[in-house]
Amino acid sequence: MSGPSAVARNPEEFAAKLDQFASEKREELKKAIGTKVMLSHDPTIDIDDVLHKASSEPSADLVVMASHVPGMKEHVFASRAGYLASHSDLSVMVVR
Same structural domain, 50 and 81: yes
pLDDT of res. 3 = 65
Q: Give this prediction's pTM.
A: 0.65
Cα–Cα distance measured from residue 3 to residue 22, given in angstroms and rounded to the nearest whole number:
22
Q: What's the number of domains the chain is made of?
A: 2
Band the pLDDT of 37: cuts 50, 70, 90: confident
59 and 13 share one domain: no
Angle CA(88)–CA(91)–CA(92) in degrees, nearest 5?
80
52 and 28 part of one domain: no
Domain match, 43 and 86 both: yes
Domain containing residue 30: 1-37
Q: What is the pLDDT of residue 1?
A: 47
49 and 75 share one domain: yes
